[in-house]
A and B are shown apart, each in its own frame.
Chain A
């Protein structure tokens, strides 16, 4: 308690320390060139000691904020593997690592207390994860523990407290200002490309491990194996829809075209629901968001839920027999015709170009 008898100097000292303990509050309203005190924790994902490139979008987003960026990795082999990889990424001041197999499967029940502890200890003003299945599952739970309203699927950072994100399946773009002391963000992968490994020499430091057991037990996983580029980060994507009529036709026509272009394969929800393609290939509001250089689709009408997942592609090309299909309203290159003729022809001609 402050007593009135205290000297002005002492009061000022106390006030300063009080303010210092509330840095995140004081920070707002300082314009460019002001005393920027943002400090960011970028949560990275790793598997068997190998860093997930996709999760490095969190570092890219952190760079937009100014202040120092610390990266965080946890799980088996993260100390010997992923942390070292992360330390090379340019722009990182420190890599905080927790080596504990309990965090291997990204279970929200033990990850949330782990992150909450790390965030409190480091006094971070911003915590960023990629908008992946992991980020989506864990970060809101951290929000519950810190009493913070998280902001998901951020596509642009306007300032330390103002963020842009799509709503209504990308039919509207929302700019929000957060009044929370700690900003919890998940960022869209296609809007924040992975930060690249460079000549960085960030310090690697052990983090605190609260060791809260998970009430959920991980049993198994079944990942779709593919030699093709990853859908979420591919430069080119070839996508098929209901117009392909069957799984046999999908498998006959789409993979060769994708191979001719060195592209990843995607699918519309209709194609996935009809069993033509695996659901991990789904592009759209409820599937993956992609923004490749070229998005080439065949037999997709262009429902708004699908457009939400691909309309930030640089060039959109469509083959569809219905000249009035909505896909042609967004396609830069549209070809009206029967995909059963056009796709094989295109595949052959592209191969001939190589």
Chain B
């Protein structure tokens, strides 16, 4: 009898990937008010992968007992957790953290460790990075805190009993790793194509179990090791220099000293 899978999927509310972020005039951060937010795209892949483990392969579905979607963020994050539930996750958990107090990966990992222990999770899917801070750390820190095996940047995941085989993207190609549950996997873009939540499923998701907690409930406090000194616009490039034809392009290359 294979171990029942209790999957934890942390998601993050971030500025939508299609929106060009604007740096605040006072250099304290990026403008987030009245900006469209979505589930971090990599986290969308995590939710999808968790659901697929239960659905696929149809002839031999894995014993997925529970898929819990968790996020730490402002109250608006509820909408995004509900979307993940509409995709097919079982339960939602929001750890209420004010927007003014963004958490660092180390804090998030400590929170997730507490959640995973309480919920008896044995498989955690995280996105490989969040597209706002681009840190790419939470999964690995969490794996270190829990002392679980990790496979980052996964493009293929296969589970057979307690054995997990992961193909991960590395510089110059892919590599395949094997480990036993419990395990941390971070998802890369080529893992799957996330589904859209359908309207009937969005309606049904409203009835799914949802909890709200605070950091204190897990014996944690928000802390920061990093202080933002400033946030600036990148150096703008001039650009716009067009040439008429291929000869013009070669001429320009010579002029700029790259040929």
Contacts and interface: CB of A to CB of B under 8 A. Distances in A.
Interface residues of B, number: 80
Contact residues of B: prevailing secondary structure: mixed
B175 A173 contact: no
Contact of B256 (A105, A179, A315): A315
Contacts of B141: 140-141, 143-144, 150
B144 A317 contact: no
B197 interface: no
B230 interface: yes
Contacts of B176: 218-221
Interface stretch (B15-23, B47-55, B117-125): B15-23
B211 interface: no
Contacts of B220: none
A346 B175 contact: no
A143 to B, nearest CB: 6
B58 interface: no
B38 interface: no
A137 B150 CA distance: 9
Interface string B120-147: 0000000011011111111111111100
Contacts of A353: 250, 259
Contacts of A96: none
Contact of A172 (B23, B152, B240, B243): B23
Contacts of A304: 20
B143 A222 contact: no
A332 interface: yes
Interface in A207-248: 214-224, 232, 236
B252 A149 contact: no
B20 A336 contact: no
B145 A144 contact: yes
Contacts of A168: 15, 21, 30, 131-132, 134
Nearest to B134: A167
Contacts of B245: 335, 337
Interface residues of A, number: 90
B246 A171 contact: no
Contact of A177 (B226, B241, B247): B226
Interface in B231-245: 231-234, 237-245
B175 A222 contact: yes
Interface stretch (B59-67, B76-84, B89-97, B104-112): B104-112
Contact of B241 (A151, A232, A331): A331
Contacts of B229: 162, 175-177
A174 B172 CA distance: 29
Contact of B239 (A141, A216, A294, A330): A330
Interface in A190-220: 214-220
B232 A294 contact: no
B246 A335 contact: yes
Nearest to B104: A149
Nearest to A168: B21
Contacts of A336: 242
A73 B39 CA distance: 39
A178 B246 contact: no
A150 B239 CA distance: 35
A221 B175 contact: yes
A349 interface: yes
Given A108-B140, A153-B134, A216-B150, A172 B234 contact: yes
5 contacts: A148-B106, A172-B30, A174-B231, A179-B225, A333-B252
- Top-5 shortest CB links A-B: A144-B144, A140-B140, A223-B173, A140-B137, A149-B225
